[in-house]
Structures are given as structure tokens and as C-alpha cells.
Amino acid sequence: MLRAVVQRVSRAEVRVGGEVCGKVGRGILALVGVGVGDGERDAAYIVDKITNLRIFEDDDGKMNLSVADVGGEVLAVSQFTLYGDVRRGRRPSFTDAAPPDEAERLFNAVADGIAAHGIPVARGVFRAEMQVELVNDGPVTILLDSGKAF
């Protein structure tokens, strides 16, 4: 079950080693985690949700517009810690996170899929120690799971 935490942002950026490697203005910050057994269908589900989520306000103040509708951008950042399991003890277990090669392939499939919809996509650096800075607009934060667990 591919997972994503989607945040509506007025701006967001990611740095590696103090250098900005991805930056967006109005749009979405998508933290994406890939689990063991995830595949193309899971990636396609997350792409569809991110590109079509109606989390931006229309002229009446209702959340009726997608990131594409508002001319927004997406900052995609891989985050295996979305699979941190703390049901037992206090130290997270990451055994449900996909192996790095598979996770990178599906993370890129998500980012590329969003870009294929004509939405500008910036990315973090896979497997790098990153610092993410954002201004959550609303705040609006949505959890996505390709297994539809939430």
C-alpha cells in the first residue's frame, strides 16, 4: 500500500547539504512512502489522487479545485518513515518499507505520473538526508493509502 501525506502549501522547499534541490510555490507537498509489495497500480492510484484532489478553494471558499486547476506545483519527497510501525515498543520498525531500489522506482513513477498531467514537479533526493521547509496553507493535510486503509 503506497502511502502519501499531502499538504496544501503556499510554498515548500527541500534541501540537501544546505543546498535547495527542490522548491515550489502554491501547490502540494507530497511525502511519499513505498511499501513492500507495492506496484504500478499503487503508484497510479496515488498519482490520480494527488493530481485530482480538490483541496484548493474556489471563489465561494469551497474546496473544489485541484492543483492543476489553480496552476499549482508539486514537491515530491520520498519518505520511507511513513512505514514506521510503532505498535510494539517505542522504536519504529521499518520492515514494511520497500527495498530502496524498488522504492526509488515507484517514487519516480509517482513524480513522473504527476508531471505527465502537466503539473510542474520538483523532487527531493532519494535516500538523502533532507530538510523540508513548508508553509502549510489552511492547514490542509490529507493522508492517502493505495490500499484505501484511510
Q: Which helix (H) or strand (E) holds 47?
A: helix 40-52
Catalytic status, residue 80: yes
Report the C-alpha gap between 33 and 41 in whole angstroms.
Answer: 15
Catalytic status, residue 7: no
Q: Tell me how many domains the chain contains.
A: 1
The verdict on residue 150 lying in a domain is no
Active-site residue identified among 7, 51, 80, 107: 80
Active-site residue identified among 81, 94, 131, 141: 81
Specify the pLDDT at position 148: 86
The verdict on residue 91 lying in a domain is yes
Taking only the tens of pLDDT, the chain with its 150 residues reads 999 999 999 999 999 999 999 999 999 999 999 999 999 999 999 999 999 999 999 999 999 999 999 999 999 999 999 999 999 999 999 999 999 999 999 999 999 999 999 999 999 999 999 999 999 999 999 999 998 887
The verdict on residue 69 lying in a domain is yes
The verdict on residue 50 lying in a domain is yes
Catalytic status, residue 56: no
Short-list 49, 69, 48, 73, CA closest to 59: 69
Specify the pLDDT at position 58: 97
Specify the pLDDT at position 150: 74
Residue numbers of the domain that contains 109: 3-145
Q: Which helix (H) or strand (E) holds 18?
A: none
Report the C-alpha gap between 79 and 68 in whole angstroms.
Answer: 24
Active-site residue identified among 51, 79, 95, 107: 79
CATH number of the domain bearing residue 50: 3.50.80.10
